[in-house]
Structure 1
Amino acid sequence: MGNPGPSLAAHYDLRSQEKSIIAASKHGPLQSLTDRELAIADQPLTVYPYRLQRRVRAWVRFGPESIRVDAVIVRSTPKAAGIEFRAGDQRFRCWVWGNAVELVDEADGAR
């Protein structure tokens, strides 16, 4: 029967990730860095307009359950990234350490 085309494969990957996010979210609330960890008062904060938001893969934690998600970076400090990702009709936002984030090559597809 062969392999599905790139468009169909991307759709299956997205559906699989959505299911994984929903399952992980049942283990507890989405964790985010604290104000103390972010030290916003002492660090420069960058907020990215939509056209400058970059696609990333990031590790997030729901309660004790960690999962890697496709996201966009919407803000940052020198050591942390504010990311946003979706699962179905739910939008999730959190702060993670910068080393938990990997930029995605834009040639891999549109967000």
Structure 2
Amino acid sequence: MGRPSALREANVDRRSQWASIREAAKRGPLQSLTERELALDEHPMTVYPWRLQRRVRAWVRFGPESIRVDAKIVRSTPLAAGIEFRCEDQTLRCWVWGNAVQLDD
């Protein structure tokens, strides 16, 4: 089952990330790539079924504030990733450039 201390550490990390997201959200709304940047009429989009969604660390921007979050890729194009991440009971979604995403090991 895992170490109780590892579970506590994961809960502390998650709550710390939620606090960072709440603070960043005070500086502006969650930013996402525009339709023009995505150019979906020129680039194919892949939508991943639940079992193929990968855990990632991604840079997101709230107004001028950038933070790194634990997320999962739910769709992608050759240049961008559609991600979703949680803050408490809220699921947030946005498009980011592919190089803003790092796969979790």
| Fold shared per TM-score above 0.5 | yes
Task: Give 2:44's aligned residue.
Answer: 44
Is the partner of 1:42 in helix, strand or coil?
coil
Stretches of 4+ moved more than 4 A in 1?
none
- The separation in 2 between residues aligned to 1:100 and 1:64, in whole angstroms, is 16
What SS does structure 2 have at the residue aligned with 1:5? helix
2:39 maps to a residue whose letter is A
| 1:45-101 Cα distance to aligned partner (Å, 9 max, x none) | 000000000000000000001000000000000000000001011111000000000
Q: CA deviation at 1:5?
A: 1.4
Q: Which residue of 2 aligns with 1:15?
A: 15
**Is residue 33 from structure 1 mapped to residue 33 from structure 2 by the alignment?**
yes
> What secondary structure sits across from 2:75 in the alignment?
strand
Q: CA RMSD in A?
A: 0.9
1:58 maps to 2:58: yes
The letter of the residue matching 2:101 is V
Among all aligned residue pairs of Structure 1 and Structure 2, give the percentage whose two residues are the same amino acid. Answer: 72
Instruction: Show structure 2 runs of 5+ residues with no match.
Output: none
Aligned equivalents of 1:26, 1:46: Cα separation in 2: 32
Q: What are structure 1's unaligned runs of at least 5 residues?
A: 106-111
Q: Distance in 2 between matches of 1:56 and 1:48?
A: 14
* TM-score normalized by the length of structure 2: 0.95
Tell me the CA shift for residue 40 of structure 1.
0.3
| Structure 2 counterpart of 1:104 | 104
Aligned to 1:109: none
